[in-house]
Structure 1
Amino acid sequence: MNTGIASIAVTDLDRLEVDLIKRYKDKVLLLLIYNNDCLGCTGRALPLAYEFQCQYPSIQVAAIHADFPTREGTKENIKSVFTSGQIPFPIYIDQHHKVYEQFHAEGTPQWLLISSNGQLYRSIFGSQDNAKNRLFYALESLSGIDG
């Protein structure tokens, strides 16, 4: 029996430790693992995450910047990719790309859809139309189950 995800350990933009499973207990989570140096992430995936946040207000959307050597996220460089200078949803930092490894990410962007009881419902790589459609159908399906 799958008991769910025990924890997702990240830091917030002020480098304070956060467990996303505890912070968003009993909520459906759509997590985007990304990196600022990934053009598919900044050009397509982050705007798509915002689109999903607007379309599914009952789902908690958040992004996780996966840090890699020489490609670390800081509060300043993470905010800089948003033209408004405002971050539209919570963004966390995955120091040493541990969450990236925890979920066997294929690359960035990697989407994790987690049910309200902490089960990994879908893991989808990419930001092109195929990934967008798969995410849309997964969100529709899960919102029917959880919502």
Structure 2
Amino acid sequence: MNTIIQAIPVLDLDGFAIDLMKVYANKVLLLIIYNNDCLGCTGRAIPLAYEFQQQYPSIQVLGIHANFVNREATKATIKSVFTSGENPFPIYIDEHHKVFDQFNAEGTPHWVLISEKGELFRSFFGSQDNAQNRLFYALESLVKNNNE
């Protein structure tokens, strides 16, 4: 049985609580759960997420910054990791790493792919080549399934 994701509670960069499952209902979601202090996140995973956003326009890419003790982010620190000073896709804050825990993340970056029906399609950790390949094949499979 497929797991239906009921809610993904986060804060927008202005500190307002929102539920990603309501805001992005009926869309395929690619979530990247990351932290600014993670070099694999900022150096590999975020650029990869941006690349996937360009390659798969039917998928909504969302960044979720997981806040850990002494590793919290603000709107300014989140924007500071991007050379343009602007976020390449919507980014939200996961206070007290609740979303990180919700998806049993092993670390950052952690990828979560959710179908347009709100079903958890894939969830895995990493930014190295193996994780990138797994993510690519999962996206291809989900996009193909949605177009049939």
- TM-score between the two structures when normalised by the length of structure 1: 0.98
Distance 1:26 1:18, change over 3 A: same
Shift, 1:2, TM fit = 4.0
Q: Which runs of 5+ in 1 are unaligned?
A: none
What is the match of residue 98 of structure 2? 98
Aligned 8 A contact 1:32 1:62 in 2: yes
Once the two structures are superposed, residues 81-137 of structure 1 have per-residue CA deviations (whole angstroms, 9 ceiling, x without a partner) of 001111110000000000000000010000000000001100021001111110000
What is the match of residue 18 of structure 1? 18
Tell whether 2:135 aligns with 1:135: yes
Paired residues for 1:1-147 under 5 Å: 1-2=1-2, 4-147=4-147
Q: Which amino acid aligns with 1:81?
A: V
Q: Which amino acid aligns with 1:78?
A: I
Q: Which runs of 4+ in 1 moved over 3 A?
A: none
Q: What is the Cα-based RMSD across aligned positions, in Å?
A: 0.9
Q: Which amino acid aligns with 2:88?
A: P
Aligned 8 A contact 1:11 1:95 in 2: yes
Once the two structures are superposed, residues 25-61 of structure 1 have per-residue CA deviations (whole angstroms, 9 ceiling, x without a partner) of 0000000000000000000000000000000001000
Give the whole-Å Cα distance in 2 for the aligned partners of 1:16 and 1:118.
23
Q: Which runs of 5+ in 2 are unaligned?
A: none
Give the whole-Å Cα distance in 1 for the aligned partners of 2:128 and 2:51.
14
- TM-score between the two structures when normalised by the length of structure 2: 0.97
Give the whole-Å Cα distance in 1 for the aligned partners of 2:49 and 2:3.
27
The number of residues matched between the two structures is 147
> Aligned to 2:85, what secondary structure does the other structure show?
coil
Q: What's the % identity of the aligned pairs?
A: 71
